[in-house]
Structure 1
Amino acid sequence: MTYQETVSDGHETVSDAETDGENYFISMTDMMVGMLFIFIILLMSFALLFRHQTDVLVKTTKQQSSKIAVAEAVGRELDETETRISKRLDEIREASQLRLRLLTELRDQLSREGLVVEISSSGDVLRLTEAAVQFPVNNFALLGDAKKNVGKIARVLARVLPSYSVCARGRIPPHCRTPAQASVETVFIEGHTDETGIDDMNWSLSAQRAASTYRELTTIAPELRRVLNRREEEILSISGYSSTRPIDVAGTLAAWTKNRRIDLRFVMDTDATSGLEEIKGLLQKMRVAIQGLKSQPQ
């Protein structure tokens, strides 16, 4: 290597090699600072991107959590509704079984009195056949054996009905039913005519036959008017159907005789209205919850 020296002013001058070394060091430092600066920028960009993605994820997770919470709440409501519906179905089945026991007991006791009556296939009607209660053509009067037989029916109803009805004041189970139990709500005394004659007249005739039967029942057994339902209303009621519900459609004299009849229809009370209103309220709550679930942003 060669060195240049000057002695004119008594000082040394730095060699070209040393100057080049310092310049190289400065260039490398600047480059490293620049790279570090770029790295910091990239790191900050990554951090900002990560934060944004995390915020989105948190937001999405919250939405998903909210939907899961709503779905779980709806599931609980469904379970509760299913339980209540099952309970109502059990109560309805219990009422149907109770009614069948009632009609069977009435039929058996009337049979011992020498009366032939039938239980409808639907299990809710006790049919007083023409052998028990028969009306003359175009007449609503109870005559002869028909009147005697209605008296027998009155006494059997007075014996049996109270055990299937809500307890009146002063009465306690098991000779009556508690308000929480299924019980008889109404006994419709239904009058019917045959298909002959004028239809308008048959409507009033069927209702008059029912009314004649009601009057005879309550005359023979006035205590029947004290048998009440859950709302403390009299159980016995009447209705007329003209010729609209024949049991024999043959159109013969024998068929017409069968159709001129009285039916006793037994309606049971299981306090269904309050139970169904409760279930309806639960379903409405679920509908609102599901609608809210659908309206949430995806």
Structure 2
Amino acid sequence: MRAQARNGAQEEEEESAFVSMTDMTVGFLFIIMILLAFFASQVRTTDTVPRSQFDQMVDDRNHWRALAEERELLIDQLEREKSNLSKQLDETERKLRKAEQEIDANKKLIANLERQLAELNQEIKNKDDLIAKLRIEIAELKAKITQLDQIDPLEAYLAQVARTRQGILIRLRDAIKTDFPDLQVELSEESDALRFQGEGLFATGQSVLTRQKQAIVSRLATRLDEILPCYTVGQRSAFSTQCNPEFVLIESVQIEGHTDNVGSDATNRNLSTARANQTFFTMTRSAPEIMEHRNFKTQPVLSVAAYGPDRPVATNDTAEGRATNRRIDLRFIMVTPQDTDGIRRIRQALSELAVDAE
């Protein structure tokens, strides 16, 4: 029983101790809660804001958030525009480089064109100088023409007679040279005679024509007979203004014999005469109608003259000069009127021949 009483007392003591500890724990927790409440009240007084301010802060936060989002969108758009502008810049720089290259090329082209322009300006200046010079020459020529217009008609006619005679001689010379290319025949210095030089027709000291030389003289007669009708009167005259526009007449065609000074004077004169006569007879036998060509006095134009050594055209001190002096000249003597009335008579006579021929 004691044991049970002792156990009951022990249990009561233990239970009493448990209750005391529980009370202490509750008390401790209550104290802690009080402290927490105190500290909470202290924290709340420092970390809380009024509701209106909080709402304003929320509105501001939302505003700045929306603004930030807009700025981000704007930044994206600006980034894209920047990228596009960067591409445009690159393209512009490429075009700029190309334009600069074109500018350089154009500068070179401009420089070249400026050089060409300078050359053309110089050429124009040269042309202007030439034009100015030509104008001066034209003025001088006009003055000369005016002067020539004032020349005596007789002088003008005689000058034309000389030119016509030269033309006849050139025509006859060229025809003979065509027939006999190796023949030595030239115009005289005065352009009034054909000159058969050296051994052209006769051998040294001889007055007889060889067969070959006779052929030359015969051909000469034929060629001369072709020319004379336009410049002579008579039945065989064939005057026309086409062949003789200046109305020129031949007075005489002289077959002249000449020698060098070797030998006696009598021998040389006889030799020159014999040579001239031999040439004359050979020509008239080959073309007998040649004697029908008449001058203004109705005389035969073909005639003979002999001068021996009297009229040398080169020195007789050398073999070459003597060969030149041994020659036959076919000299054309033209009708040269003394005044303008003589010119009128010649024109009238030739004009009548032309009318009769029609």
TM class, shorter-length? 0.5 to 0.7
Measure how far apart 1:176 and its partner are: 6.8
Match of 1:118 among 173, 182, 186: 186
Match of 1:225 among 282, 288, 291: 291
Any unmatched runs of 5+ in structure 1? Answer: 1-82, 277-298
**Distance of aligned partners of 1:258 and 1:252 in 2 relative to their CA distance in 1, 3 Å threshold:** same
Counterparts of 1:163-174 in structure 2 under 5 Å? 163-166=230-233, 168=235, 171-174=238-241
**Distance of aligned partners of 1:121 and 1:141 in 2 relative to their CA distance in 1, 3 Å threshold:** same
**Distance of aligned partners of 1:257 and 1:146 in 2 relative to their CA distance in 1, 3 Å threshold:** farther
Q: Distance in 2 between matches of 1:116 and 1:231?
A: 34
Cα deviation, 1:83-104, whole Å, max 9, x if unaligned, reads 9970110110111111011001
Counterparts of 1:233-244 in structure 2 under 5 Å? 233-244=299-310
Number of the residue aligned with 1:92: 158
More helix, by proportion: 2
Q: Distance in 2 between matches of 1:206 and 1:119?
A: 20
Measure how far apart 1:251 and its partner are: 2.5
| 2:208 is aligned with 1:154 | no
SS in 2 for 1:215: helix
Q: Distance in 1 between matches of 2:242 and 2:301?
A: 17
Q: Distance in 2 between matches of 1:170 and 1:259?
A: 35
> Which one has a bigger Cα radius of gyration?
2
**Distance of aligned partners of 1:255 and 1:119 in 2 relative to their CA distance in 1, 3 Å threshold:** same
Any unmatched runs of 5+ in structure 2? Answer: 1-148, 343-358
**Distance of aligned partners of 1:145 and 1:253 in 2 relative to their CA distance in 1, 3 Å threshold:** farther
Q: TM-score, normalised by structure 1?
A: 0.58
Conserved? CA contact 2:255–2:305, under 8 Å: yes
**Distance of aligned partners of 1:132 and 1:250 in 2 relative to their CA distance in 1, 3 Å threshold:** closer
Measure how far apart 1:275 and its partner are: 4.6
Number of the residue aligned with 1:271: 337
User: Number of residues paired by the alignment?
Assistant: 195
SS in 2 for 1:263: strand
Counterparts of 1:57-206 in structure 2 under 5 Å? 86-114=152-180, 115-130=183-198, 132-137=200-205, 139-166=206-233, 168=235, 171-174=238-241, 181-206=247-272
SS in 2 for 1:240: strand
Q: Distance in 2 between matches of 1:186 and 1:84?
A: 31
Conserved? CA contact 2:208–2:275, under 8 Å: yes
Number of the residue aligned with 2:273: 207
Measure how far apart 1:172 and its partner are: 4.7
**Distance of aligned partners of 1:250 and 1:271 in 2 relative to their CA distance in 1, 3 Å threshold:** closer
The code of the aligned residue for 1:106 comes to L
Conserved? CA contact 1:166–1:229, under 8 Å: yes
SS in 2 for 1:187: strand
Q: TM-score, normalised by structure 2?
A: 0.49
SS in 1 for 2:226: helix
Match of 1:245 among 299, 311, 314: 311
> Which of 1 and 2 has higher RCO (CA within 8 Å, sep 6+)?
1
Number of the residue aligned with 1:34: none
RMSD, aligned CA: 2.9
The code of the aligned residue for 1:201 comes to T
Conserved? CA contact 1:190–1:263, under 8 Å: yes
**Identity level (%):** 31
**Distance of aligned partners of 1:235 and 1:170 in 2 relative to their CA distance in 1, 3 Å threshold:** closer
Q: Distance in 2 between matches of 1:175 and 1:147?
A: 33
